[in-house]
Structures are given as structure tokens and as C-alpha cells.
Amino acid sequence: MANRTWKEQATAIVGNAILGYLDKDPDANMPKLMNWWDKFDRDNFHEKQRKSIRSIVEDPENLWYGYIRSFWTDIDPDVRKTLFKNLIVQTFFLGNRRQEESRSKYGCSIPWAILMDPTSACNLHCTGCWAAEYGNKLNMDYDTLDSIIRQGTELGTYMYIYSGGEPLVRKKDIIRLCEAHPECEFLAFTNGTLIDEEFAEEMLRVKNFIPAISVEGFEEATDSRRGSGTFRAVMDAMKILKRKKLVFGTSCCYTRANAEVIGSEEYMDSMIEWGAKFAWFFTYMPVGADAVPDLIATAEQREYMYHQIRRFRGTKPIFTMDFWNDGEYVDGCIAGGRYYLHINANGDIEPCAFIHYSDANIHQKTLLEAYRSPLFMAYHHAQPFCENHLRPCPLLDNPGALTKMVESTGARSTDMRNPEDVRALSAKCEAAAGSWKPVADRLWACSGHCAAGKKQPR
């Protein structure tokens, strides 16, 4: 656990007491919690968030009030308490302030979350997945994973996400890390096929692990990309998690082949019925030698997802996030340590899960040294990459932006079997970027933004 100042210790004690108070009678005490927050946030550090959440908790008819309330009916009480403590007290109150202090002190980006690969091994072989490029022999040892978390919490990062490969190949170490860092929240992007009764019981025991299960649509679409029988195995895993009242969500990659299904109301309703509390959406990126550029979603499909997800946020009780189309809410790209970064199973510290270039390795440099490396500082100084935040990505949306950063900093490809030239990678995305630009510009203007990226006065 990171060394805490007296103020952080006091905040944690008071925050945990308030959450305990909330738990006794959530309907009566949620508005009272907001009054406490108003008094606590004397410098208005969370003013925007307070206003947004207040509009929810003071209206029992609000869709999101019902969503929040469902955690008292659908989720195991101890899991819920741990989730709220780790996300609200640790990550939101303590973590955000410590991150801001670290940013000011060191003059670089400090992430909200760290995504890391315990292994490159996977029990599936999905079409177009870059994981195959790493092979099946790379594993990050437990001590390195533990060190990353310890370094991260010192700087204010309390959210840790696993990818791969299939991270649950390392089930035992993942649970061990949950035990070692009870103040952190852990999530894994997983194909779900390794979730069984025994592992679900371990999740109940540690209380701070959440799976985001990858699904490509319904059975035909999922099995066509991930292999026969995968969808059925995923459904079995979700049934176990729902029955045991565990928090889980979905991870949905939309492509040219499945966007209409992924964005359909039928699919959204199905995820809610399965028991998912959140759905994270990604658009397909043609990364790696085995990538299939023809799977990149068309501009029309990306616009379809833009409208569908925004519509569902007002009608469906599930938390959704589209990591490209939601750029307007986070002022563009979140990678390069601005909100998150990626560390692969070889220890290479990369700006993004989809940007396989690095100039730092965790076995040779500390996290802080990596955050201040030429590549990460190039991200820090260049963000946002476009004034239209619906074109956030330096690879998919802004031709040449990634190439300039990689070539100017001497960063290398981290693909060990088939190193990918950054110009060749960028070339795969140029047509998609050109098609998306006029659509994104129209959507940006229609949502009331001016060229400088600010809301127009009304």
C-alpha cells in the first residue's frame, strides 16, 4: 500500500464510514452523501462530477438511480462494499488527487489505470488478433507485476487491468495480487472460457476482481472469430457469475462484419439479461502481421455505433463506454499515460494496447522513468491529436501523428516475431481515417462544438 499523508488517511477513514452509512439505507442516505461531498470538496476539484451525480441520486425515477440501486439487489454485499470503497474512496478521491500532485511534481502524465499482460499465452486463436504475434512463451513474473502495482499506487494509480493473451491463464497469480493489494480494483479482459465455479469462489473471496468478457455478438459471430463452442462457454461463465452475484461486464469489438449486431437493441438487451453491469466497446484496429484491414468498421458503421450507444445511455440500465467515439467526453486520446498505458508480457511499456512501440521496459526502468521517456512525453505534448475529439487516435484517425512520435523518439516495434514498421501500420488506416474525417466533423459540429474544440455559446 502506498504511504499515505495524514490527510489521505483521514479521507479514507471518513469515506469508508460514509459508505458504511450509505449501505444501511441507500435510498435515504444517497442524497445525504452528496451533502457530505459538497462540504468535503472545498476547492471544487470534483465540481463537474458532483453536479452530474446529484442529478441522479435526487431523482428515484432516473434510469441511473435504478442502475446504482441494482448493486444492492444483484451483487454480493461484500463485493459491493469492496467495489465502492476501491472505486470511490481509493481510485476517485485519493487516487485522483495523488495523480494530480504527481503530474505537477514530475511534469508528465500519470495514468488513472495501468493495463498489463501477465502472459502472451492464450487458449484461443481469434481472427485478426495481435496476441498470436507474441507467441505463447512470454510471461511477466509475479514480482514484476507486484512491483508495477506498488510503483503505481505511490503515484496515485489504484486501477489495474489485465489483458493478454488470455490473462486467466495466470489465475493463481491474479488472485494472489488481489490479496496483496486489497485497496486496488482489478479487471481483466478475458475470453471467459476459463471462468469456472472454483475461480468464481476465489473472486468472491478476494472481492476486488472483475472480468470483462469478450463477445463478438451472438453465437455465430462469436464462434466465427473465436472458434466453435466459444459462445456457449461464455454463456456458461456468465451464468456462474450472475448466480454468485459477482460484478462482470462485456468487452465488444465491433468490425465491418458485426457492427450492426453489436450496436443493436437486441444485443444490448441480451447483455443486460446475461447480467453484465457494463459494456466496453472497441473498434477493430489492424495491428500485427496477421491483421485483417478489411475488418475495420466503415465510417457509416462507426457513426451508427456513435448514435446507438448514446441512445442506449438514456434507455438501458448498463454502463457503456466507446473508447473511440467517446473522445469528446475525455478531450481526445486517453493513451500515453494520460489516463492509461499498456505493459506487454515482455515488460515493454507502450502508450496503448493498440500501439506496439516502446522506448522503455519495466525490467530496466521504473514507471516514472517511462512516463518521462521521449515517447511518452511526445504523447504528453501532442495530445489532443485533433481539435475534433471524435478523431482522437494518432493511428486510426490522424495519419502521420503516430509515425512522427515513433520516428522522432527512436521508439521500436515491440512485436518480437514480426516487428512492424510504423509507416506500414499507419498506411493500413489511411483510407479509414479519410472516410471518417467528414463524418466526424459533421457530428462534432452538430453537437455544438467550434473549431477550437470548445462548446459554442448558447
| pLDDT computed for residue 456 by the predictor | 38
pLDDT at 455 over 50: no
CA distances from 365 to 257, 299, 322, 420 (A): 41, 40, 32, 24
Q: For the residues 108-137, what does the mean pLDDT come to?
A: 76
- Asked whether the predicted pLDDT for residue 429 surpasses 80, the reply is yes
Residue with cell 469528446: 328
Q: What's this model's pTM, rounded to 2 decimal places?
A: 0.91
Query: Which carries the bigger pLDDT value, residue 291 or residue 41?
Result: 291
pLDDT score of 11: 67
- Higher-pLDDT residue of 93 and 235 is 235
Class level of CATH domain 113-343: alpha beta
Give the residue from 46, 64, 91 showing the smallest Cα distance to 319: 64
All 3 cell numbers of residue 417?
A: 516475431
Is the pLDDT score of 136 beyond 70?
no
Mean pLDDT (the chain) is 90
Residue 294 clears pLDDT 50, i.e. is over it: yes
- The pLDDT score that the predictor gives to residue 125 is 65
d(CA 120, CA 135): 7
How confident is the model over 270-292, as a mean pLDDT?
94
What value does the mean pLDDT take over residues 7-34? Answer: 76
pLDDT on residue 42: 72
Q: What is the pLDDT of residue 38?
A: 76
Instruction: Parse the chain into domains and list their residue ranges.
Output: 6-105, 113-343
DSSP for residue 345: T
Q: How many CB atoms lie within 10 A of CB 36?
A: 16
Tell me the C-alpha distance between 277 and 240, whole Å. Answer: 15
391 class by beta-carbon count within 10 Å (0-12 exposed, 13-18 middle, 19+ buried): buried
pLDDT for the residue numbered 212: 98
**Can you tell me whether residue 256 is helix, strand or coil?**
coil
- Residue 229's pLDDT band (cuts 50, 70, 90): confident
CB 351 within 8 A of CB 337: yes
Query: Is a pLDDT exceeding 80 seen at residue 454?
Result: no
- What pLDDT was estimated at residue 10? 67
Give tens-digit pLDDT for 41-97: 777 777 777 788 888 888 889 999 999 999 999 999 999 999 999 998 888 888 898
Specify the pLDDT at position 308. 97
* Higher local confidence (pLDDT), 47 or 398: 398
* Tens of pLDDT, residues 346-368: 999 999 999 999 999 999 999 99
The β-bridge relationship of strands 319-322 and 278-283 is parallel
**What residue has cell string 503515484?**
155
Percentages (nearest 5) of helix, strand, coil residues in the chain: 50, 10, 35
Q: What is the pLDDT of residue 128?
A: 52
CA 349/CA 109 separation, integer angstroms: 14
pLDDT of 190: 96
What is the rounded CA–CA span in Å between residue 4 and residue 8? Answer: 6
pLDDT higher for 13 or 54? 54
Q: Is the pLDDT confidence value at 2 over 70?
A: no
| Res 457: pLDDT | 33
At residue 220, the pLDDT reads 76
pLDDT at site 131: 54
